Amino acid sequence: MSNPKVYLVGAGPGDPELLTLKARRLIDEADVVLYDQLVGEDIIATLPESAELISVGKYAGCHTVPQEKINELLVEYAKRGKRVVRLKGGDPYVFGRGGEEAMELARHGIEVEVVPGITSAIAVPASAGIPITHRQCASVVSFVTGHEDPTKGEPSVDWAQLAALGGTLVVLMGVSRLAQNVEALLKGGRSPSTPCAIIERGTRRDMRVITSTLDRIVERATDANVRPPAILVVGEVVGLREHILHGERT
């Protein structure tokens, strides 16, 4: 038997055409695919019937399979000589717990190859007509999780510092704590009139974009019944959306 190996593959933000060529090839060659729901229905529908397909769930706050069990499955199938693909939404190493899985596999002597994916932090705003940088209004971009691990003790995200930093802020997995995160940004000094967008199911056929200002985005999101997966974009770049999509002059 060859040395056991697992491929940690990024599926991108959900549009099947945004899969990399390497990701597509490895998926089609796999014996076993363990996939998250964040991968998206359109990609899940293309998984090979010849492979053993295992849904391991995962939306923020709703993990149908605990991380420890996922780790066990990866180790078990790899040691049985299976060609294992661990398919994750976005990029495996951007708030995807890919680092945890890679470390666990390495601890068992299993080789890991990471196949980067297009992160939703960049692709989703772009698909909604929002450039996350712009020479005139955003030379700094911050990526942050809106849902920290509750078991690690004190939170490590300094929202006041992020508010003071300015530029563009992209919050992933922030729907469940949207009100608390927005309140923290306002208390930290971010202007209430800062343009914001919540993008639900970005790059997919049923994508929705809700825009407002920082002081009203929670109300707008509640009225629209926004559900995961969705990201929050905060910054002046959101105001460029109408110009880009509809040709309005600055």
CA distances from 102 to 44, 98, 158, 204 (A): 23, 6, 27, 29
pLDDT digits (tens, 9 = 90+) for 85-115: 999 999 999 998 999 999 999 999 999 999 9
75 or 173, greater pLDDT:
75
pLDDT at 62: 54
Give yes or no for a contact between 233 and 169, defined as CB atoms under 8 angstroms apart.
yes
pLDDT at 248: 63
State how far Cα 130 lies from the chain centre.
Answer: 17
Cis preceding linkage at 16, omega within 30: no
Residues 220-243: what's their mean pLDDT?
Answer: 96
**DSSP for 15-79, written as a single string:** -GGGS-HHHHHHHHH-SEEEE-GGG-HHHHTTS-TTSEEEE---BTTB-SS-HHHHHHHHHHHHH
CATH 3.30.950.10 in the chain, residues? 120-246
pLDDT digits (tens, 9 = 90+) for 6-21: 999 999 999 999 999 9
Q: Assess if CATH 3.30.200.20 describes domain 5-115.
A: no
123 SS3 class: helix
Residues 169-196: what's their mean pLDDT?
Answer: 95
Residues 133-157: what's their mean pLDDT?
Answer: 82
Q: For the chain, what is the mean pLDDT? A: 93
pLDDT at 57: 80
For residue 22 the two structure tokens come to 């390497």
CA distances from 70 to 36, 63, 77, 136, 166 (A): 11, 11, 11, 45, 38
- Whole-model pTM above 0.85? yes
CATH class of 120-246: alpha beta
167 SS3 class: coil
Residue 206 clears pLDDT 80, i.e. is over it: yes
Residues 155-180: what's their mean pLDDT?
Answer: 92
Residues 154-176: what's their mean pLDDT?
Answer: 90
| Ranges assigned E (strand) in 77-236 | 84-88, 111-115, 141-145, 168-172, 195-200, 208-213, 230-234
Q: Residue 93: exposed, middle, or buried by beta-carbon count in 10 A (0-12, 13-18, 19+)? A: middle
pLDDT at 28: 98
CATH 3.40.1010.10 in the chain, residues? 5-115
pLDDT at 194: 98
DSSP code for 238:
G
Question: Which residues are catalytic, by number?
Answer: 36, 58, 173
Q: Residue 165: exposed, middle, or buried by beta-carbon count in 10 A (0-12, 13-18, 19+)? A: middle
Could you give phi then psi for residue 157, rounded to 5 degrees? -80, 120
Q: Residue 247: exposed, middle, or buried by beta-carbon count in 10 A (0-12, 13-18, 19+)? A: exposed
CA distances from 33 to 17, 28, 43, 45 (A): 19, 10, 12, 13
Residues 59-86: what's their mean pLDDT?
Answer: 88
* Cα-only R_g, the chain: 19
What share of the chain in percent tops pLDDT 90?
86
Strand order in the sheet with 141-145: 141-145, 168-172, 230-234, 195-200, 208-213
Residue 60 clears pLDDT 90, i.e. is over it: no
Residue 153 clears pLDDT 80, i.e. is over it: no
Residue 200 clears pLDDT 80, i.e. is over it: yes
For residue 62 the two structure tokens come to 């709703």
